[in-house]
Chain A
Amino acid sequence: MTFSGFNLLAAADPMDHVNDKPLFDGLVQKGEGFSNWLWEVSNHLYGLGITKQVVLFFIAGILTLLFFWSYVRQIKKDPDGVPGRWGNFVETILDVLRDQLVLPFIGESGMKYLPMLATFFVYILICNLLGLIPLLDYVGHGGNTATANIFITGGLAFCAFFLYHALGLREQGNIFTYIKNLFPHVPVFILPLIIVIELMAHIIRPCALAIRLMANMMAGHVMIAVILGFTAHLTMDWLVGGAVVSLISVVAVTALTFLELLVAIIQAFVFTFLTTVFLSMAVHPDH
């Protein structure tokens, strides 16, 4: 099997590390045998629109199911029992989501929305964390953060948009009351202006959710790629200077990777937080 992956560690263009690629892009080549079969599979999937980031999104979905699976099975068997080690971890996350998101914003009647919000949080967290695994980048050439793709985060934001409007409609009952509750009650003569501004706000909110998540994920990876790229370009020309710069850049990239870890967790929380706020505005508009 021809492994051409390690030539790609120094790509020409830092944006190359976050753009979307066919599944096994730089790793296998059109040749013979197993390598050729993998190339055919990845190209065929790419023709269908399934790129590496989409495959990682599916894998993150399966991992989310596995995340909750053993805990849910244990709780169903024995609702009053003590959770084990993994159950403790899952309960920590669910406690944070319940005490800081659902109860302050929606109240006791919001407990039925907690599964949906927990799914958003864990799914986006797992997608972001999969993007930090270093050599997963080199199975194929770059592009291992699923949420660095505007279409994937746009899909997530669209799901959040659809869900909070649908849940708000179900709660209010009547569609006319819901539309009347979308806009604040102001005197009649500035109502047209208020309607325009509120409609724009309602359209922009899910777009901002999508772009915020995508930009945070993409920007971190691009910055790491740029700083590491200094090493590659300089060492090819001047070895001693390349050594010095590579030392500095590795230290900087280590610090940046810790920051990226923090940003991954925070952005998952911010997405869920904003979805909760919009849900609370849709379900209880008088708050």
Chain B
Amino acid sequence: MDMPIEFLNVFSGFLAQAGEVAPSGYGLYAPIGAGLAAIGVGLGIGKLAASSVESIARQPEASADIKGAMILTAAFIEGVGLFAAVIAFMSLQK
């Protein structure tokens, strides 16, 4: 019946639990670094998608080749972002 209050109770319980496992000391910087790397990945894949969609629109007969190249290069760019995420995981695990 008191649903907003119930929600706040549960939510603050979450925040308290998150506070227990929050990284302390220098452990805060690794996730921030992973987030910054994700900005770079987003920009890169956005540019890739924009130019590949435009070139498919320009020449629809080449769309199979372009789609293949798009998926392959998206995997490479995402790999770079995941390097940063892996470093964040490994620093949290210590």
Contacts and interface: CB of A to CB of B under 8 A. Distances in A.
Interface of A: 15, 100, 208, 211-212, 214-216, 218-219, 222, 233-234, 237-238, 241, 263, 266-267, 269-270, 273
A233 B14 CA distance: 9
Interface residues of B, number: 20
Interface stretch (B5-13, B22-30, B50-58): B5-13
A214 B71 CA distance: 19
Contact of A15 (B17, B68, B78, B93): B93
Interface in B39-94: 68, 71-72, 75-76, 78-79, 82-83, 85-86, 89, 92-93
Contacts of B72: 266, 269-270, 273
Grouping DSSP codes into helix (H, G, I), strand (E, B) and loop, the B interface class, with mixed when no group exceeds half, is helix
Given A238-B6, A238-B10, A222 B89 contact: yes
A216 B10 contact: no
B20 to A, nearest CB: 11
B7 A241 contact: yes
Given A15-B89, A222-B89, A237-B13, A270 B83 contact: no
Given A234-B10, A237-B13, A216 B89 contact: no
A56 B85 CA distance: 25
A215 B93 contact: no
Contacts of B92: 15
Given A233-B14, A234-B10, A238-B6, A211 B75 contact: no
Contacts of B68: 100
Contact of A267 (B10, B14, B75): B75
A153 to B, nearest CB: 11
Contacts of A238: 6-7, 10
Interface of B: 6-7, 10, 13-14, 17, 68, 71-72, 75-76, 78-79, 82-83, 85-86, 89, 92-93
Contacts of B86: 211, 214-215, 218-219
Nearest to A238: B10
Given A233-B14, A241-B7, A273-B72, A218 B89 contact: yes
19 contacts: A15-B93, A208-B79, A211-B86, A212-B82, A212-B83, A215-B79, A215-B82, A215-B83, A215-B85, A219-B85, A219-B86, A222-B89, A233-B14, A237-B13, A241-B7, A266-B71, A266-B72, A266-B75, A269-B72
A176 to B, nearest CB: 33
B28 to A, nearest CB: 17
A218 B14 CA distance: 25
B6 to A, nearest CB: 7
A216 B82 contact: yes
B42 to A, nearest CB: 15
A133 B76 CA distance: 25
